[in-house]
Structure 1
Amino acid sequence: MAASSGIYQAAVPGIEAVNTVGCGDAMMAGFAIGLKNHWDPSEILRYARALAAANARQERTGYFVKEEFEELYDEILVQKL
Structure 2
Amino acid sequence: MSKGEGTNMASDYDNQLIESVTVRRHRLLAAFLFGDNPHERRWMDSNRLFFLSIAAAAVIAALCVGYSFVSHLLEA
Q: Which has the higher strand share?
A: 1
Q: Which has the higher helix share?
A: 2
Q: Please, what TM-score do these two structures have when normalized by structure 2? A: 0.29
- Greater radius of gyration (CA): 2
- Structure of greater relative contact order (alpha carbons < 8 Å, 6+ residues apart): 1
Q: Please, what TM-score do these two structures have when normalized by structure 1? A: 0.27
